[in-house]
């Protein structure tokens, strides 16, 4: 059982690596112990977006009268059907990955793989528990990550849960406390608030979505408060106890001092833990630092012929980053000349209502790096398309270097911004200036006109504000 390339893991890093390798004529095997597509496709990116879409449809129906549409009775969410739909969506996409594996003649081996020496991988097969040994000149590790568990918040899967459990709840909780306000925490907070749960977000740092520009964070906090979500920033969770019949007790310390909160469900959204255990890293001497595998710009570890991509490495834990790393890693293996990833142009998206999308430096980061700034902002309230769509919350903020006029960062909150962020991402990568964006004719009426107007605003030339 010899191959050119073996990939352990079939998430957005692993399956993309396998397909690109097959396209380049390599004999490839993929080892996967669970569902094809990994966590992102089966238990993360895709099913959560399906649930969020259900919540958006519910909100649209509830506000149908504002668009001249009368609906008899009050629309009610059916969580069981929403969950069933999200599982169907995930299963459909997983079958799509299986189709691609077959199309490219990639051998899929169901089991748990681990390094067993130079060029060797042992697989404990799912089918019967026996062990098979595979050989390859190149081995790519792409086993991803899982929700992090904290000792003060022991996960029981019923009342104290993580993101995977949150996808499968069998009832709409009366109240839910979300610990952590990154993308995962905010998305689930947005979803359950839309269904009518009393939601509390608890964040240790001073702002929601702490990696985003501060103005974006403040806008999202206002948006959550409009949804009657309680937002507690600058607040530490001391302990979570599940020792009552109907409520969890959450001991916190924040701006008002020590307090005890109650919630039917507590969702832990405090980050991820890499799946580096039982991979045989110590067998071959792969270097690990702070729970991450050390790699070069193309995924090469310190051991020749062994590579790591995606969440296993110190790069941003995003599906599109894993896919980009996968392609560059395989092309380097195959003797091509891929360009390293431009880490200054990695987009980030949060699928709340309203959405958040960003790329590049925040205003604070740009100031700390010594840039003189030229900033342009355009509000959705001045957008014809946003007004027509009934989606006037949000704005686009563009940050330019005051000397070169080049785009340093783009930060957006509002309807459809996750679809709009590709334009400033390309602009950031190409070194595009505000004048370049101003001279680019944007279609009307569209949400994307806000990017044009924000660039114009940076030069004091915006037409519609």
- Catalytic positions, please? 444
* Cβ count near 160 (within 10 Å): 23
Contacts of 341 (CB under 8 A, 6+ apart): 297, 315, 321, 324, 325, 328
Cα 178 to Cα 199: distance, rounded to the nearest angstrom: 7
Phi, psi (deg, nearest 5) at residue 97: -65, -40
Distance CA(233)–CA(210), nearest Å, equals 10
353 Cβ contact partners less than 8 Å away, ≥ 6 residues apart: 52, 55, 56, 59, 190, 194, 223, 227
Q: Any bridge partners for residue 414, and if so which?
A: 355, 394
Answer whether 14's CB lies under 8 Å from 38's CB: yes
Q: Are 130 and 111 in contact (CB under 8 A)?
A: no
- Show the 3-state SS of 35-64: CCCHHHHHHCHHHHHHHHHHHHHHHHHHCH
Cα–chain center distance at 450 = 24
- Strand (E) positions, 63-181? 107-115, 120-125, 131-141, 145-147, 160-161, 175-179
List 397's β-bridge partners, or say none: 377, 411
Cα torsion through 290, 292, 295, 297, rounded to 10? -100
Asked if 114 contacts 122 with a C-beta cutoff of 8 angstroms, the reply is yes
Positions of E strands within 255-331: 257-263, 265-268, 272-274, 288-289, 292-293, 306-308
Rounded Cα gap, residues 345 and 363, in angstroms: 15
313 CB neighbour count, 10 Å cutoff: 23
């Amino acid at each position: 059982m010899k191959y050119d390339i073996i990939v352990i893991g079939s998430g957005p890093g692993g399956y993309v690596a396998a397909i690109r390798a097959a396209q380049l004529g390599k004999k490839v095997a993929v080892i996967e112990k669970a569902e094809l597509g990994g966590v992102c496709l089966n238990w993360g990116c895709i099913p959560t977006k399906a649930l969020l879409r259900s919540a958006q449809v519910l909100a649209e129906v509830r506000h149908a009268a504002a668009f001249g549409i009368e609906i008899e009775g009050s629309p009610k969410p059916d969580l069981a059907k929403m969950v069933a739909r999200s599982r169907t969506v995930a299963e459909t996409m997983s079958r799509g990955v299986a189709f691609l594996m077959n199309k490219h003649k990639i051998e899929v081996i169901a089991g748990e793989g681990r390094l067993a020496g130079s060029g060797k991988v042992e697989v404990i097969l799912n089918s019967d528990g026996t062990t098979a040994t595979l050989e390859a000149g190149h081995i790519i590790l792409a086993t991803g990550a899982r929700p992090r568990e904290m000792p003060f918040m022991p996960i029981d899967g019923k009342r104290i849960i993580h993101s995977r459990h949150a996808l499968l709840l069998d009832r709409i909780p009366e109240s839910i406390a979300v610990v952590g306000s990154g993308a995962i925490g905010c998305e689930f907070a947005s979803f359950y608030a839309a269904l009518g749960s009393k939601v509390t977000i608890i964040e240790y740092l001073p702002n929601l979505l702490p990696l985003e520009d501060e103005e974006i964070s403040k806008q999202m906090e206002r948006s959550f408060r409009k949804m009657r979500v309680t937002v507690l920033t600058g607040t530490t969770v001391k302990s979570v106890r599940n020792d009552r019949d109907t409520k969890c007790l959450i001991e916190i310390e924040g701006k008002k001092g020590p307090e005890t909160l109650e919630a039917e469900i507590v969702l832990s959204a405090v980050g991820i833990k890499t799946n580096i255990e039982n991979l045989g890293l110590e067998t071959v001497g792969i270097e690990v630092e702070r729970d991450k595998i050390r790699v070069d710009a193309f995924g090469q570890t310190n051991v020749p012929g062994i590579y790591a991509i995606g969440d296993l490495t110190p790069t941003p834990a995003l599906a599109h980053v894993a896919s980009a790393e996968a392609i560059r890693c395989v092309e380097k293996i195959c003797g091509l000349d891929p360009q390293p990833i431009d880490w200054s142009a990695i987009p980030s998206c949060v699928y709340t209502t309203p959405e958040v999308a960003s790329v590049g430096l925040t205003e604070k980061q740009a100031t700390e790096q010594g840039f003189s700034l030229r900033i342009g902002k355009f509000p959705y309230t001045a957008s014809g398309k946003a007004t027509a769509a009934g989606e006037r919350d949000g704005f686009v903020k563009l940050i330019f270097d005051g000397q070169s006029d080049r785009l340093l960062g783009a930060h957006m909150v509002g309807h459809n911004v996750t679809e709009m962020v590709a334009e400033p991402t390309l602009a950031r990568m190409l070194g595009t200036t505000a004048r370049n964006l101003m001279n680019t004719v944007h279609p009307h009426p569209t949400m994307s006109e806000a990017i044009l107007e924000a660039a114009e605003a940076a030069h004091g030339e915006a037409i519609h504000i």
